[in-house]
Structure formats: structure tokens, C-alpha cells
Amino acid sequence: TKCVHLPPEVTATSRHYVDRLFDPDPQKVLQGVIDMKNAVIGNNKQKANLIVLGAVPRLLYLLQQGSSSSELRAECAVVLGSLAMGTENNIKSLVDCHIIPALLQGLLCPDLIFIEACLRCLRTVFISPVTPVQLLYTDPTVIPHLMSLLSRSQRTQEYITQIFSHCCKTPEHQTVLFNHGAIQNIAPLLISPSYKVRMQALKCFSVLAYENTQVSMTLVNVLVDEELLSQVFVRMMQRDQPIDMQLTAAKCLTYMCRAGAIRTDDSCIVLKTLPCLVRMCSKERLLEERVEGAETLAYLMEPDVELQRIASVTDHLVAMLADYFKYPSSVSAITDIKRVRHWTLLIEPSQQHTTLHTTLDHDLKHAHELRQAAFKLYASLGSNDEDIRKKITETENMMDRIVSGLSESSVKVRLAAVRCLHSLSRSVQQLRTSFHDHAVWKPLMKLLQNAPDEVLVMASSTLCNLLLEFSPSKEPILESGVIELLCSLTQSDSPALRVNGIWALMNMAFQADQKVKGEIVRALGTEQLFRLLSDPDSNVLMKTLGLLRNLLSTRPHIDQVMSSHGKQIMQAVTLILEGEHSIEVKEQTLCILANIADGNTAKELIMTNDDILQKIKYYMAHSNVKLQLAATFCISNLIWNEEDGSQERQDKLRELGFVDILHKLTQASDPNLCDRAKTAMQQYLA
């Protein structure tokens, strides 16, 4: 088993430890394991050596042997747990040796000390990022067995809940745990006398409830010692509780609220959770806490303008967030020390110097984390309320920070910055003022050149707003040659990008001059335009129709576009009107027809197309008023008196029976439709 080549001086003592595991005398083996245990504590080099020398398979063998004494088995598990406390490589080696199934098997043994040692080792293995969490779910009997072990001791409770909270990463995991009674089994642990148990149980609930309606709905009705769970969480958020507990309890309530289990105007959200999360953003908190606090708060209030308003006035939050950009600074010394301590809880003492080595990297990472969290929170705060947006943009150097955030090296920061920009770009006033003053379009355009899809989605969506007709940035953006870029977006595989691309083009075409419109049509190409008209995503289709409608506005433009692309457009329109589409899509299409009917020469494309005329007739008698209105509008344009050839058109349409329909529509219950029909009828009477 030992065929590894290492420098002899390194392995001499280590080999001795491994050799003793093979002694025929079980008593000597036990002593060997105990000595090994004492030798590896806090000694990473020793751990690595023992692993390389093949100690793990032998320890696992001893651990699994039914003939081993329970003391020996427990000691083996302890040594393995100690080995797992080393580097990530150690964990990888352990996992490669199939330690997980072996330890899980060990849990079936009745001996509590052995079970606790196995669980402790499993805990250490599973909380490592290198361990595939799926290994916990491979054997379907494992989760129910772990649930049953929760009643054994405070240690089993602590380790199992910690394993759960680290291994619950997907909705499937949530469902598995939920179905095996995680809530009923873990809820009583929230009032355990042990802080560690309470804390791990709380963490479990936070991962179980995240974006999970089923879990959240169940949680609100759970009683712990005759107290509602939400009240237990509220108590855990009290200001004299440890920060970690306050923060995690706030997360639980946030997730329950977002999942719809708690109303956003519930006092436990408004008066407890939200203020607690705002406190977590304060300068006094550790960096990690500030990051998590800000992200959770952003998530909590994202869909609710009232919560956004409350947060915006709570404890100077908007100003407090500005401090997130002032890291690293000299003030952060204290938090650094604390952070190191955090780490040493997870790893054994000898690791400390390694941690300090990486402090610089961490500083940088923390600076990024802080900035992206602040951007996210600003984005959430400003997503609906104009006054809050104003407050944000008036925060010291805010626009500059966003602008520089857009070109940061970290994708996470760039994404958050563009989200923030997007949120603020919903403000007409900001578009007119600060956005223009700071020329945000420049870094935004740069960002669009080369970025991952998620960034592109946000950036292009922001661009849509910047291209609105009243935005002073529209002109410079147009001049920067954005059309090609947007057209290329419409060819993306991502529906969101296609929507944003075509949306931006639509905004650009709104009341644009002929040159711009021509450029759009040229750059996009009719082929692509018609491909978009048959896009499976209805949003894309809607915006494409919108673009068409904007292209087909003002009479000269209509005639020009129709003269060059009339045939294809009419074909597309026919197809859409015949296809299975939503009311909105058909309405938009009928509006395009109405625009075409407004042209001078374009009219004829409809008048000479009996098929289309029949369709218009059909929609005039449709059950949906919106469609009736749009269709009537189209006819009204065709028969408009003051234009050339109106008499012939009126005659033809009368022959086709449109007058009867119009006559009927003058009796319609909808006043708009009624008016529209009457106006149309007047064209005949004049």
C-alpha cells in the first residue's frame, strides 16, 4: 500500500505512525492511532505526509471493521476529522478515498461517541467548498437517518444542522430536506440551551426558506414552545443578541417575506427585519456583515416601494452606504483582526500565518464585495421612487463611483454598478441631468463591447432608457455607432439580450429622422427584422412590432419604408394576424396596419390586399375592444376624406360591407369605439 516516493527525512517519523496502524496487536494499533491524533493536531505538514503515505485508507479500514473496538473506531474518526481540518488538498484526498460513504455508514453504529466523531469529520468535509454536496444525497437513506440522529445529543444537533445548512444549495435539496421533516425536526433546536446549536438551526432555516414558497409557507405556522417561529426569529434579532444571530434571523424573515409567507407591511418586517438589516450596514459591523446585510436588505425591498421608502430614511442608510466605497482605509484595522479570528475558528492554529499571507488579496476582495453590495442596495432602493433616486445621485461622488464601477476589473462590481445605473436610469430627471453631466453613456458603451451576458443584459437595458427621446445622451450615443452593436444583440441566443437590442432600436426610432431610420433598417437588414417577427419570445416580437410602428410614422417615412419593404411587411403582418398570438401582439400589428393606412402610397398595399381587408373586417367584429378599436382606426385612415382617392376606397370598402360594421359599432357600449366608428361614418356622410 505504501509505494509513494518522498524525501526520506520528511517521511521518517510519519511513516512510523502509519506503520503502527498495521500492528497485529489491536491494543498497539489503538495506541498508534491515539499517538497519531496527538501528532497531527495543528500540524499541516504532518497531515499532508500521513495522507501521502496512505494513512487514510488504513484508518477507514479500521473504522469500518466490525472487529475493531468502538474506542478504536472513534479514535480513527477523530484522526480523520483532524486531517480534514487541514488544507483543501487534504479534503480532496479524503473525499477521493471515499471517506464520505464510510463515515455515513458509521452513523448506523449505536455508539454515540463514535457517531459524534463521524459527524464532526463529515461536518468538516462538507463545509469545505471542494466537497461536492451531492454526496450527501446519493444514498436516500442518509437524510432520514441524520434527522433521527438529531435527538441524540447537542453535538449531533450542531454537526448535522451545520451539514444541512452547507449542503442545501438547490431547490431540489430544499425539497429533500423538507420532505424528510427538516422543519419539525430542527425547529425545536432554535431554543436549545447551546448557542452553537441555535445558530446552526437558524442557518438551516435561512437556506431552506430561500426562494422556497413551500418551506416559507410552512414556517410561518410552526410553533416553537407555543411561540410562532417568526416571533422566535424576531427575538433573535434583538440588539443585544450576537450579530451573527441577528443577521441570520433577519435573513430567514427576509426569505419568508420574499416567498410571500409574510406580508411586506407586517410589523416584523417593517419595524424589525428592515431596521436590523440597516444596522448591519453600519460602519461598526464587520465587512462580511456589512456585505451580507446590504445584499439581504436589497433583496428584501426589491419588489416593494414602501419598504424602499422606509429604508431610504432609516438611520441615514443612503449616506451610510457611501462608506462602502472608502475601503480599504486605516479604519479597517480592527475588522481585519476580527476577520483573522473568524478564520482561525475554521482552521487549526498553525494555519494563521497562511491566512495573514493572503490578507492583501482579501483586502482587495473585500473592497470589491463592499462596492458591489452597495451598488446592489442602491439599485434596489432607487428602483421605484423618484425622490430616493434623487437622494442617491446627490450622495457624494455617487455618479463618479458608478462610472468607475462600470469599468472595474471585477465582473461582480461591474454588474452591480450597471444594475444601479439601470435603476437610476428609470428617472426622467436623472436622465436629463446627472446622466448627461457625467456622460455615463461612454463607460456604458465600453461595457457593451465586451462583457458577460448578465452584464450585457443590464447594460443594454440601461441603454434603452438612455435612448429615450428626451434623453440628452441619445445624440452622442447615436453618433458613437451604437446601431451595429444593438443589431448584433438582436442575434443573441439570450432572449433578454434580443429584447433589449430591439427595444433600444425601437426607442431610437421613435420620432427619429429619416436618416436614422434608414440606418436602422439597413443595419438590421430585412431578413433579421422578419426573423425577429417570428421570434419565439413574445417580448421580442412586441418590441419588433414597436420598432416597425416607430419606423412607420409620419407619412413620408411610411411611404418610403413601404415602397422598399412593403411586400415583406405585408406578409409578416398577415402571418402574425393569422397566427396564435396574444391580444397585445395582434393589437400592435393592427396599429402597424393603421400606420400603413395613413401613408399616401402605402394605403394601396392594403386596399389591393383583399386578404388583409377581410382580416381587418374580422377584427372589427372581434370580442376584444382593443382589437376592434385598432382595426376601426385602420379603416378610418383608409376612408379619410381629404386624401386622394378617398372616394374609391370608400366605395370599395362599402362594397365589402365595412359600412354595416361601422354602423353597428356606433352602437357599441365602449365609448371610445363608439366615437371612433362615428368619426369614420362621418367620412361617408361628408
Site residues, other proteins (CB under 8 A) = 238-240, 270-272, 274-275, 310, 313-317, 320
Q: Which is nearer to other proteins, 81 or 382 (CB)?
A: 382
Q: Which is nearer to other proteins, 106 or 275 (CB)?
A: 275
Residue 300 to residues 103, 255, 275, 287, 679, Cα–Cα distance (Å): 39, 8, 12, 20, 51
Rounded Cα–Cα distance for residues 198 and 528 (Å): 59
Residue 507 to residues 134, 438, 473, 499, Cα–Cα distance (Å): 47, 22, 13, 12
Q: Which is nearer to other proteins, 395 or 526 (CB)?
A: 395
Q: In the structure grid, which three cell numbers stand for residue 677, read together?
A: 366608428
- The end-to-end CA distance of the chain, in Å, is 105
Q: Which of 333, 352, 354 is nearest to 342 (CA)?
A: 352
**Rounded least distance, CB 265 to other proteins, Å:** 12
**Rounded least distance, CB 312 to other proteins, Å:** 8
**Rounded least distance, CB 313 to other proteins, Å:** 5
| Cell 409557507, located at residue | 217
Residue 2 to residues 10, 52, 537, Cα–Cα distance (Å): 15, 9, 61
Q: Which is nearer to other proteins, 9 or 240 (CB)?
A: 240
**Rounded least distance, CB 430 to other proteins, Å:** 19
Q: Which is nearer to other proteins, 315 or 660 (CB)?
A: 315
Q: Which residues contact 622 (CB under 8 A, 6 or more apart)?
A: 628, 631
Q: Which is nearer to other proteins, 317 or 483 (CB)?
A: 317
Residue 681 to residues 71, 484, 640, 646, 674, Cα–Cα distance (Å): 99, 46, 10, 13, 11
Q: How many CB atoms lie within 10 A of CB 284?
A: 11
Q: Which is nearer to other proteins, 16 or 309 (CB)?
A: 309
**Rounded least distance, CB 378 to other proteins, Å:** 17
**Rounded least distance, CB 220 to other proteins, Å:** 21
Rounded Cα–Cα distance for residues 436 and 434 (Å): 5
Q: Which is nearer to other proteins, 223 or 319 (CB)?
A: 319
Q: Which is nearer to other proteins, 319 or 356 (CB)?
A: 319
**Rounded least distance, CB 309 to other proteins, Å:** 8
Q: Which is nearer to other proteins, 45 or 326 (CB)?
A: 326
**Rounded least distance, CB 102 to other proteins, Å:** 44
**Rounded least distance, CB 399 to other proteins, Å:** 19
Q: Which is nearer to other proteins, 4 or 305 (CB)?
A: 305
Rounded Cα–Cα distance for residues 65 and 55 (Å): 15
CB 30 within 8 A of CB 75: yes
CB 617 within 8 A of CB 662: no
Q: In the structure grid, which three cell numbers stand for residue 242, read together?
A: 450576537
Cross-strand partners of 93: none
Largest CA distance in the chain: 117
State the alpha helices, DSSP H only, in 450-537: 453-466, 474-479, 482-489, 495-509, 514-524, 526-533
**Rounded least distance, CB 334 to other proteins, Å:** 14
**Rounded least distance, CB 202 to other proteins, Å:** 18
Q: In the structure grid, which three cell numbers stand for residue 502, read together?
A: 430591439
